[in-house]
Structure 1
Amino acid sequence: MMEKDKKVALIDMGTNTFHLLITQIQEGSEPNDLVRIKEPVKLGEGGISHGEIAPAAYARALQTLKGFKSLIDQHGAEEVKAMATSAVRNAANGPDLIQDIAAETGITVEIIDGDLEAELIYYGVKSALEIGFEKSLLMDIGGGSVEFIICDDHQVFWKQSFEIGAQRLLDKFFITDPLEEHAIEALKLYLQEQLTPLAEAVARCKPTVLIGSSGTFDTLCDIDSKRKGLDREQDCCPEADLPLADFYEIYEDILRKNRSERLAIPGMLEMRVDMIVMAIILIDFVLENYSINKIRVSAYALKEGMLYRMLNQEHK
């Protein structure tokens, strides 16, 4: 077990968004979050489909980590844990970025593989909600990769990371805006090819619930809440339900609109305004093909999974 009564900083360098969580660990009580922020770094923009981090994205990453380091120092965090995912692990200049971050901020970043990413997402979701005894399919849509985990509250039955994140799909399929029907069908055929291992695992394990992890799913819940005249406080309640009928109303609305119209949707975030098109088609594909009729949403994901693993070292 890790040492208690200390402040820790957790950094998730995602392909689209960088997250920083600074929390205070105290013996006998729940962690007390001091800082919880996300920055739209868009690390995969302009280069992910070519196996590199583009210069502008590289510069944004360094600048963001410098800002994170300033906050970490302000709060006096004694331990810093940083992880990088799909964009960095697949980029030829990913190791250079990690070296530059270390040189300019003193932060050591671990590049993790998709298997560990999926495991940490599972622990993050467990921190947000009770999965229960029924088998669920966890889904985390990143900019570079998408993680799927079939599990219940006690164990993981199957997990895999697929390099079909929303930025990669944008680069490949987002030719017109709004997207034309033939492009949507081409995307779904591509997903069918890429997700064959998932289809086989679903057929074996038969999950009945989709649990969406953070990111796009948070934005969909925010849009749904705004449509109902409600305000959603993720920090107060890290779990939400997204009724299927509501999802499909939002789905149809988003697919009809161009970028400026999507941006005007209450609850939409600028950093997701394009990627969400790819993401909702992916969600629809999963619902349609795997006979799942319920969506739950976890506001927690990888960084909370990092914290869970730090607090429960036996799960390493």
Structure 2
Amino acid sequence: MHTAPRRLALIDMGTNTFHLLIVEMPTQPGEKPLELLRTKAGVRLGEGGISRGEIAPAAYSRALHTMRGFKEEIDLHGVNEVRATATSAMRVSSNGPDLVRDIFEQTGIRVEVIPGAREAELIWEGVRQAVDLGGEPQLIMDVGGGSTEFIIADRHTIFWKQSFEIGAQRLLDKFFTPADGIMPAAALAAERDYLAEMLAPLHAAVAHFRPVGLVGASGSFDTLGDLQAGRVHSEAEQPPMRELTLAGFQESLRQLLSLNHEQRVALPGMFPMRADMLVVAAVLIDYVLGSFGLTRIRSSAYALKEGLLAEMLGL
């Protein structure tokens, strides 16, 4: 008897971006899943509310609209299993549970709101499918809109992990309300001081485990890679792993800090939704590189949803 192929949809509802990955699961051991669709939508769930602990009405309706669109794709591809996870914005928002309920009522999709430690674990699972982490500790970093996860791990083992509520939307709200769109020196200094205070546990962990390189997962790192390449790559075109040069990163940082909003949007490789957020995210990345003397930067297009898939496949 011929059974229908098992098709799986993985949804990662981030604070900035919602991602959808649809795959056909392998029928033979050792086979790879067949990727049918990989897409994303800039929902900006944290905009206008995350720093006050709520999802703003416009962001709430964008989320529902996006999930209805994802449901159409899911139906179109004959998916028979859906795993949807939500992270920082949904964890901390007073109306996050309402959104979970409304998504279920409107689409039938059950959303699992996952804690930061679980998020960090899945990010490592995803990153190691794209990047050879080797046998020495690496510092893995995922700058989200609401939270930033840091993981110190090699190919086989997580040595330390922590999720910090210092995502790019929060940093933007706190340090950079762009009047002319250029970050003032005082705000830059204030962000760096704040990071030094917030990231004390990371300093202790790095001193103990001594990671040898930085691996950045998705989001901001994809855009930094696109800036170095000089063009935007669609979600489906993103190479799983890219090596970023330190000089290229420093040049991007200099541009991000010296150009106004319109000039940043016009940079070849800029994803317009990230034109402001990338400023504070790049300051965070620069702080990490400088504080820990890391010179090797690799970016992974794989993160949470690929981690979830790897876990389901037992990879």
TM range (shorter): over 0.9
Report the equivalent of 2:192: 188
Report SS of the residue matched to 1:241: strand
**Alpha-carbon shift at residue 4 of structure 1 (Å):** 11
Report the equivalent of 1:250: 252
Question: Which of 209, 214, 221 does residue 218 from structure 2 map onto?
Answer: 214
Cα pair 1:225 1:231 within 8 Å, conserved: no
Opposite residue 243 of structure 2, the aligned amino acid is: D
Opposite residue 186 of structure 2, the aligned amino acid is: H
Report SS of the residue matched to 1:202: helix
Report the equivalent of 2:205: 201
Residue 305 in structure 1 maps to residue 297 in structure 2: no
Question: Which of 94, 119, 128 does residue 117 from structure 1 map onto?
Answer: 119
Report the equivalent of 1:62: 64
**Alpha-carbon shift at residue 6 of structure 1 (Å):** 1.1
Distance 1:306 1:52 in 2: 27
Report SS of the residue matched to 1:158: strand
Cα pair 2:238 2:301 within 8 Å, conserved: no
Report the equivalent of 1:22: 22
Report the equivalent of 1:89: 91
**Alpha-carbon shift at residue 5 of structure 1 (Å):** 4.5
Distance 1:224 1:32 in 2: 30
RMSD: 1.7
**Alpha-carbon shift at residue 175 of structure 1 (Å):** 3.2
Report SS of the residue matched to 1:20: strand
Opposite residue 262 of structure 1, the aligned amino acid is: R
Distance 1:18 1:174 in 2: 24
Cα pair 1:169 1:278 within 8 Å, conserved: yes
Report the equivalent of 2:38: 36
Question: Which of 174, 177, 198 does residue 176 from structure 2 map onto?
Answer: 174
Aligned length: 309
**Residues 106 and 42 of structure 1: is their aligned pair in 2 closer, same or farther, counting only changes over 3 Å?**
same
Moved over 4 A (4+): 230-236
**Alpha-carbon shift at residue 233 of structure 1 (Å):** 8.7
Cα pair 1:4 1:25 within 8 Å, conserved: no
Distance 2:24 2:259 in 1: 43
Distance 1:246 1:234 in 2: 24
Report the equivalent of 2:10: 10
Opposite residue 250 of structure 1, the aligned amino acid is: S
Report SS of the residue matched to 2:121: helix
**Alpha-carbon shift at residue 104 of structure 1 (Å):** 0.5
Q: Percent identity?
A: 54
**Alpha-carbon shift at residue 237 of structure 1 (Å):** 3.1
**Alpha-carbon shift at residue 235 of structure 1 (Å):** 4.2
Report the equivalent of 1:163: 165
**Residues 33 and 150 of structure 1: is their aligned pair in 2 closer, same or farther, counting only changes over 3 Å?**
same
**Residues 233 and 307 of structure 1: is their aligned pair in 2 closer, same or farther, counting only changes over 3 Å?**
closer
Cα pair 2:11 2:18 within 8 Å, conserved: yes
Opposite residue 162 of structure 1, the aligned amino acid is: F
Residue 287 in structure 1 maps to residue 289 in structure 2: yes
Question: Which of 104, 107, 115 does residue 105 from structure 1 map onto?
Answer: 107
**Alpha-carbon shift at residue 231 of structure 1 (Å):** 7.3
Distance 1:233 1:72 in 2: 17
Cα pair 2:39 2:236 within 8 Å, conserved: no
Opposite residue 188 of structure 1, the aligned amino acid is: R
Distance 2:233 2:113 in 1: 36
**Residues 65 and 198 of structure 1: is their aligned pair in 2 closer, same or farther, counting only changes over 3 Å?**
same
Report SS of the residue matched to 1:249: helix
> With structure 1 as the length reference, what TM-score do the two structures score?
0.95
Report the equivalent of 1:52: 54
